[in-house]
Structures are given as structure tokens and as C-alpha cells.
Structure 1
Amino acid sequence: MAVAEPTLEIEALLHDGGARFVIGCDEVGRGAIAGPVAVGLCVVDARIGVMPTGLRDSKLLSEKRREELAPLAVEWALYSAVGLATATEIDSVGIIAALGLAGKRALAKLHVDGAAVRQSVILLDGSHDWLSPALTTKLAVKTRAKADRDCASVAAASVVAKVHRDRLMISAHDRTPGYGWASNKGYGSADHFAAIAELGATDFHRRTWLHGDVELSDD
């Protein structure tokens, strides 16, 4: 069965409605038990060129293909950024507030003047607006279910964020190899839970997400 290909149809409607930019927004790492949550942004305008060939929601792509597409997505978008919230922050404020924190940090990294952003629409994947409560300046946020599948700006954001976070997890694996982060990317595989049971949890783990009493590793 053919995989749905994202388009710029929704973005075009938002531009027609007066948005100067559409800022595609997606998160990755929400369900992991280790590592940060990442929020990616990719900005497009009404004159944006044809999206990179093969661009899809990051979940529909192999790791190799994501690595190939990420620099193309960055080059295609007018601006892009990734913001993070750490495992410690997730434990402290909860995942929803941490998503907002990561999104706010990503917006702060965009090299777009504030006036332009205030004339734009953030197109957020999903049905819940977790971003607006974190913002000190009110911005237009439009949620859309399956936007990472259907909207090119959001698909690009998902790829950029996924590759950024995956590289962080691989780097963490190189420093602390016992937990398999290079392959599981911090998600709760059986081998990952077995490693925690044997070695204890690290400061890179979301300790409030682990079941039962877990010792803290010295690493």
C-alpha cells in the first residue's frame, strides 16, 4: 500500500488566510524512558520551493533515510531549529510542560524577527496544544492530527528533530554503553529495562518513568 506523501496544501491555506510564515512543529522522544524530549521547527512561506523528494513523517522512514533527508529538509526550509528539555526537567515538571519548554527553546533559536513570528502560524502535530501555555508572547497555534504525515513543514520538522535527538542518544551510548541507547534511542525495550535492573538508572533516565525502586548508577 502506498505511503501518504505530505503536501503544502494546509500551509497554502494558512498563507492565504494571512500567515506570513507557517512554522511546522513536531516533537520526538515523548515516550522514551531516557534522554531529552526534542521539538523541531521548520519555517516555510508562500514561495517555498518543492519539498525534498521522499520527505515523510520521520516514523515512516528508516534511520538511514532520515539521515539523508535531514540536511535536505534544513536546506529546504527558510529556517529550522530544535529545542530540548532534559530528562531531569521532564521528571521535575512533567512531560507536557517539558514539551512546551523544548518548543519555547526551539522558537528562541529561530533567526526570524519577533514581528514576523507574530504574523505567522505554528502548525502543531496532534490535537493538543502543549506549546501555547509555555509561551510568554501569544502566538497563533493551529493543531492538526496527523500533520506530520500530511503537512510538509511538519514532516520536515519531525525529521530534523528525530535525527538531532538520535545523534544525542548515540553520543550518550558512546559515553555509557551498557543501556543500548545507540539502538533503542532511549525507548523502553526489554533489553533496556534489563540493563537498568542490572546497572541501575543514570541521570540520563527519566526516573519518574521507571517502575519500582531503581538504584542510581555511579556513571
Structure 2
Amino acid sequence: MFENMSVAQVKEQIKNIKMEEYLEYIDVLRKDSRKGVQKLAEGLAKQLDNERHERERVEWLKRNEYALFERGYTAVGGIDEAGRGPLAGPVYAAVVIFDKDVFIEGINDSKKISEKKRELLFDEIMEKAIDYSIGSADHGEIDSYNILNATKLAIKRAVDGLKTKPDYLLIDALKLPEVDIPQRSIIQGDSNSISIAAASILAKVSRDRVMLEYHKKYPEYGFEKHKGYGTKEHYEAIQKHGIIDIHRMSFLKSIMGKR
């Protein structure tokens, strides 16, 4: 099959083969007497092994959804939020509904993956979800209602924005008695549920994008780096330039008292 090809030509030939063809090609490449071609076979075998492990990891991440599907639920919504801790900007929440056969390579808790990977997964999640919705509560609502209630408000807005009504909710570390849908709170849900992990990515990316827009308006505060969290740089910017309209006043009482 590859006898009349150089190692470089073989490498180019196998570059775009489909995953389901790997085993066939691995068998042929391993029988080639050239060590360079045999090395290509080992490379394919490693890729195939990594793919299997990733599929097993994602299947494990779906175990809470599978348990609900077995009980007869058909529209399981995973919910997570982003931005409860920052000194500035809104809090965001998202809800995602997947079918049982969904596979998204690399999906995980948004805190465990890079910003670049989150951006890529953001689009794939929206493409593969049965339905999704994103809600938020701004800094004024956070000050008026407190951060916990504002977070619940953002979640309710996300749920209300769905076109498909969920029949069960999996929520990261929160309970929503005001939402009349069967639900379960899961500690570290973004590491234990594919739909919560997906929601964590949608919420995180959406909020980060808003904070990047605020950076354009207030570049001296460094929002593009810390996204409003209480870093040393952020506190120094507040001391130098003062509190601005997107700051959460209830989070900055100690600073306000010194002014």
C-alpha cells in the first residue's frame, strides 16, 4: 500500500484519514519495515487511545443525565453561573439541554480549560444543544438584592428564556425553590455533569465578553485581565481612579468608608 512512497509521503497520506479507519491503517503501517513508518503507526495508535479515553471521560460526565433519562425525563437542563465573586460587572447564568447521545470533545468545568478552548466550545455547545439560554443580573441588581438573590434572578431569566421547557434541572451548588421544576443541586456540578459543565462555559464566556467591552470604556482598570475580580491590580486602580458605575458598591463598603 505504501511501498513506493517515502515516509514523508506516507505521513501526508494519512493526515486526513477518519478515526474509524485508524485500526486498518495502524495494522498496515506496523508491517512496514521502515522505522519511520512504524513510528507513524504508533502515533495513530496513541491518537486512537486518547480518543477512547476522552469518550470514556465524557460518558462518565453524563452519568447524572443518564440516570434521569432512565427515570423517564427527556429534557434535563444543566445550570451554572459565572461572576458571583468579582467587585465589578454583572453575574451571568446559563442553562443547557442536551440529548443523551451528545459528544463534545474537551468539555469540562470552565475553570479547568483555557480561554481559547472555552471560546471554541462555546460555539459547539450552542450548535449541539437541544436548547440553551443565558441570563444575567447587573451590578445594580446585585447591590439591591444581594449577590445570592441576583444570581438566582439571572438563573430564572435563563430558564425563562428557553424555548424547550426542561422537566428536570441539575444545578451547580444551588437550590431554586422559586422555580417550579424538579431539580437537584450538585456540589461541583460543573465537574460532574455534562450539561452543567456546558452551562459553566456559556456563562463564563458571555460574562468575559462583557468585561472586555467594559475594558474598552475603562482601560485603566485592567478588566481584560482580571474580569472585575479583586486582584491587587484592580484594587490599586480603584485607589488611583476611584469607583465607577459598574462597581458593586455592596462589595466595596470598606473602600467607600475610607473616601
2:155 to 103, 110, 114: 103
Aligned match of 2:17: none
Distance 2:229 2:57 in 1: 27
Matched, 1:34 2:88: yes
SS at match of 2:124: helix
2:241 to 175, 186, 199: 199
Higher relative contact order (CA 8 A, sep 6+): 1
Amino acid at match of 2:106: G
Q: How many residues align?
A: 202
Aligned match of 2:102: 49
Superposition deviation, residue 212 in structure 1: 2.1
Distance 1:30 1:132 in 2: 20
Q: TM-score, normalised by structure 1?
A: 0.87
Moved over 3 A (4+): 2-6
Superposition deviation, residue 198 in structure 1: 1.0
Aligned match of 1:158: 200
Matched, 1:122 2:169: yes
1:12 to 53, 60, 66: 66
Superposition deviation, residue 211 in structure 1: 4.3
Aligned match of 2:218: 176
1:91 to 143, 147, 162: 143
SS at match of 1:194: helix
Distance 2:73 2:142 in 1: 32
Distance 1:213 1:60 in 2: 32
Aligned match of 1:186: 228
Deviation track 1:166-186 (CA, whole Å, cap 9, x = no partner) reads 000000110111111111011
Aligned match of 1:132: 177
Aligned match of 2:34: none
Does the CA-based 8 Å contact 1:121-1:140 persist in structure 2?
A: yes
- Which structure features the higher share of helix residues? 2
Superposition deviation, residue 53 in structure 1: 0.6
SS at match of 2:216: helix
Superposition deviation, residue 85 in structure 1: 0.4
Distance 1:43 1:214 in 2: 42
Does the CA-based 8 Å contact 1:5-1:56 persist in structure 2?
A: no
Q: TM-score, normalised by structure 2?
A: 0.74
CA RMSD, 1 decimal: 1.9
SS at match of 2:256: coil
Distance 2:184 2:224 in 1: 34
SS at match of 1:214: helix
Superposition pairs of residues 56-67 of structure 1, within 5 angstroms: 56-67=108-119
Matched, 1:210 2:252: yes
Deviation track 1:89-138 (CA, whole Å, cap 9, x = no partner) reads 001110111011101111121112xxx43xx1110011x31x333x3xx1
Distance 2:67 2:193 in 1: 12
Residue identity over aligned pairs, in percent, reads 36
SS at match of 1:70: helix
Greater radius of gyration (CA): 2
Q: Which runs of 5+ in 2 are unaligned?
A: 1-52
Deviation track 1:197-219 (CA, whole Å, cap 9, x = no partner) reads 1111111011110142439xxxx
Superposition deviation, residue 74 in structure 1: 1.1
Distance 2:172 2:254 in 1: 33
